Amino acid sequence: MSGANVKPTLTGESRSSARPGRIVRLTVNGRTHEVTLPAHRTLLEALRDLGYVDVKNGCEKGDCGACAVLLDGKVVNSCLVLAWQAEGAAITTNAGLGTVDRPHPIQEAFADAGAVQCGYCTPGMVLAAKALLDENPNPSEAEIREAISGNLCRCTGYGQIVEAVRLAAQRLREKAPTKQGGEKR
Amino acid sequence: MTLPAFELVQPRSLRDAIDALAAAPGMEPIAGGTSLLVDLRGARVKAETLLDLGRIDELRGITIDSHELVIGAMATIADVLKNPAVAEHAPLLVEACRLFASPLVRNRATIGGNLAYASPAADAAPPLLALDAVVELRSVRGRRQVALAEFFKGVRKTARKPDELLVGIHIPRAVPGTLSAYRKLGLRKADSISVASVATRVVVDMAGRCQAARIALGAVAPVPLRVAKAEAALTRHGLTVEAAADAAKLAAEATSPIDDVRGTAAYRRRVTETLVKRALLELVEKGGDGR
Ligand SMILES: Cc1cc2nc3c(=O)[nH]c(=O)nc-3n(C[C@H](O)[C@H](O)[C@H](O)COP(=O)(O)OP(=O)(O)OC[C@H]3O[C@@H](n4cnc5c(N)ncnc54)[C@H](O)[C@@H]3O)c2cc1C
């Protein structure tokens, strides 16, 4: 449980003016939080308020993918999911894949390929890549581009991002000669 | 920016959902939320209470029997893309779903939501019109089926009554000799709303005659529509290069497009002709090899 929930909220909405809501259990990166949320709180807002600030707030319209998370392994825009709807699902953010000390091979490939410029799109890109590689360990360039088509990079460094996903795919295949088993959850 | 406040009701069965809707028909169903939440945020839609269909497992299934394919209203675009029965009996819908939004949106957006929202540019509509789809509506008053062509009444208007839920889409099994082709024009290759889209389907008999033809258009009229005159050009003259050109002209004449941020009316009419022609020429080519 995250006890220290006294950070300023993303919404800036004072809690007293909001509807009271109900207690929602959110399981994020394997950890369960119980938080009281009104029905209109998005998953994006709830996650950032819980301190998962690797989930970025971009357009709030589903256009940019900066707020991407995995819901039961599927990549979605957390700005278009209500927090109540995410109850019972396994929510994974970029930080749930790996840390700076122990990065996930996809994260490592993003660093190695120079795929990070301002960094705002990176967590979403990494998760879109994770969802792709879980289903298709050996994607073509066209498949990589299609998989990240819902994630905008305004630095427009797409070339390196595509290269990072290709590199990650290659490394993951080399690592797992049998099959890509043993996933998280 | 926070969403305007609303209540959320989350029934676990269809029975509970239609009971709740009967008691308060002003409730706004929420499926994938990919249109509704954007509209609520933009204050284009107002709702006191949302009815979440996301916990009703019985609305998500895709089934096939001896005469039809049934896609549950809550099946997502991603579910449709992965389903082998859809691939076999409604490849036209699969083609459209491949070009639908982005992977992120496809994991939430539902087929039912796409039709119920009744955007002129709803990408599932032209293929489903061309596949002779019928939608099933349920309320405490019972169930009824409406041909998709009669379901769309205008921009964001449908035959759905406020106490009804769209529960499924019925598609006849594909018959031998069926050929289909789809074209979508957006402003970019992926994740874009249609400027115009075209779904075509023909049934060719053993002698190579065109027994049935369907041509449906998206984003070029207040509702997604079938163009009967253009279809007749094919059934009358057969699946030929000349008939394809005639049908394409007739299809463009049947449009009533608007100017908007994605294109002018005149442009939409012209690209409709081109898209129909290209789709039909694909069919001519496929039909030519005796398939
Ligand atoms: C970035 C982005 C890209 C997009 N790209 C495309 C695209 O390429 N092509 C396209 O067609 N659309 C696109 N859309 C629009 C949207 O994703 C689709 O129309 C989607 O299918 C809507 O389905 P939903 O389940 O999200 O519906 P919701 O947003 O949940 O609901 C939409 C409306 O339908 C009603 N409704 C939903 N389900 C039912 C039901 N079972 N019974 C009765 N009423 C119901 C709701 O009350 C609401 O009024 C895009 C949206 C975004 C955000």
pLDDT digits (tens, 9 = 90+) for A51-69: 999 999 999 999 999 999 9
Domain for residue B2, yes or no?
no
Q: For residues B71 and B77, is the Cβ–Cβ distance under 8 A?
A: no
Report whether pLDDT(A2) > 70.
no
pTM (two decimals): 0.94
Q: Are strands B49-52 and B7-9 parallel, antiparallel or unpaired?
A: parallel
- The residue in chain B having the minimum alpha-carbon distance to the alpha carbon of residue A67 is B104
Residues B95 and B142 reside in one and the same domain = yes
**Residue linked to tokens 């008999």:** B205
Residues B67 and B168 reside in one and the same domain = yes
Instruction: Give the CA distances from residue B52 to residues B29, B174, B238, in Å, rounded to whole numbers and listed in that order.
Output: 6, 33, 48
Residues B32 and B69 reside in one and the same domain = no
Domain for residue B182, yes or no?
no
Contacts of A12 in chain B (CB under 8 A): 2
- The residue in chain A having the minimum alpha-carbon distance to the alpha carbon of residue B40 is A40
Core vs surface per residue B143-176: b (16+ CB within 10 A) or e: eeebebbebbeeebebbbeebbbbbbbbbeebee
Sheet (strand A31-37) strand order: A31-37, A22-28, A90-92, A68-71, A74-77
Superfamily of A105-175 according to CATH: [2Fe-2S]-binding domain (1.10.150.120)
CATH architecture of A22-96: Roll (3.10)
Query: How many structural domains does chain B have?
Result: 3
Residues B257 and B273 reside in one and the same domain = yes
Residue nearest to atom 21 of ligand 1 (CA): B114
Residues B257 and B274 reside in one and the same domain = yes
CA distance B278 to chain A (A): 23
CATH code of B203's domain? 3.30.390.50
pLDDT digits (tens, 9 = 90+) for A7-49: 445 555 544 445 679 999 999 999 999 999 999 999 999 999 9
Q: Which residues pair with B273 in a beta bridge?
A: none
Residues B62 and B26 reside in one and the same domain = no
Domain for residue B247, yes or no?
yes
Domain for residue B147, yes or no?
yes
Structure ipTM: 0.95
pLDDT digits (tens, 9 = 90+) for B151-183: 999 999 999 999 999 999 999 999 999 999 999
Domain that holds residue B34: 7-52
Domain for residue B144, yes or no?
yes
